[in-house]
Structure 1
Amino acid sequence: MINTMERHSYDSLSEAIDDLKHRGYTEDFNLKPFCLACPRLNLELRPEQFTVDETYRFEGQSNPDDSSVIYAVSSPPDLKGILVDAYGVYAESLTPEMAQKLKAAV
């Protein structure tokens, strides 16, 4: 696991998700080419509308290319959630703004 912002350390993706949810990152986001989508709230956040607070990258045990990243995301005034993504898989389908926002966080 590679932690790029905060000082938390997790052994697994599920441990990171559990702790982040415990710390208030309760919404689940989906990645779209131009935004993050929160289906429960029927909400879409463009890159300028959210901040990546923390990121954690996990490499596959049997294959280093099989990796994922979790983003702890917030948006004013008090929306907090997580995005879990296969690391780098969808980068080509993102708008330049989305790609830059997520790349800068990793």
Structure 2
Amino acid sequence: METDNFDTLSVAVDSLTRKGYTDSFKAEEHCIVALYSKKEYQPEDLKIVHSFRFEGMTNPADETELFAIAAKDGLKGTLVMSYSAEHSQNVELIKKIREI
């Protein structure tokens, strides 16, 4: 994927959706779930194609990272990871996904 520079998270997600990253992933306790297709994956079934970091508007410490992810079965989607104190992602599972 070519490198894009995005000013906001919403612009990045919109652009990736137009490029075929149409599902949304969430890292739960034991697996990573594709929210629209309801498929469940293990980290070894996924690859991070690209990632983008965004700093908070009011507090630069409130970082968010957007991952463009491709599954072995062809499904593509995005995963949004907030580094704030109030996030609901399983960070350890996300760290196990390999980057290409």
The TM-score, its normalising length taken from structure 1, stands at 0.77
Aligned residue for 2:19? 23
Q: Deviations over 1:12-71 (max 9, x none)?
A: 000100000000000011121332111322211111100010000100121111111111
Aligned residue for 1:10? 6
- Mapping for residues 7-86 of structure 1, pairs under 5 Å: 7-86=3-82
Q: What is the rounded CA distance, in whole Å, between the counterparts of 1:28 and 1:11 in structure 2?
A: 20
Point out where structure 1 has 5 or more consecutive residues left out of the alignment. none
In structure 1, what residue type is equivalent to 2:36? Answer: R
Aligned residue for 2:96? 101
The TM-score, its normalising length taken from structure 2, stands at 0.81
Q: 1:14 to 1:83 in 2, by over 3 A?
A: same
Structure with more helix by fraction: 1
Q: 1:25 to 1:95 in 2, by over 3 A?
A: closer
Instruction: List, as ranges, runs of 4+ consecutive aligned residues in structure 1 with deviation greater than 2 Å.
Output: 87-91, 93-96, 99-102
Percentage identity across paired residues of the two chains? 32
Q: 1:99 to 1:83 in 2, by over 3 A?
A: closer
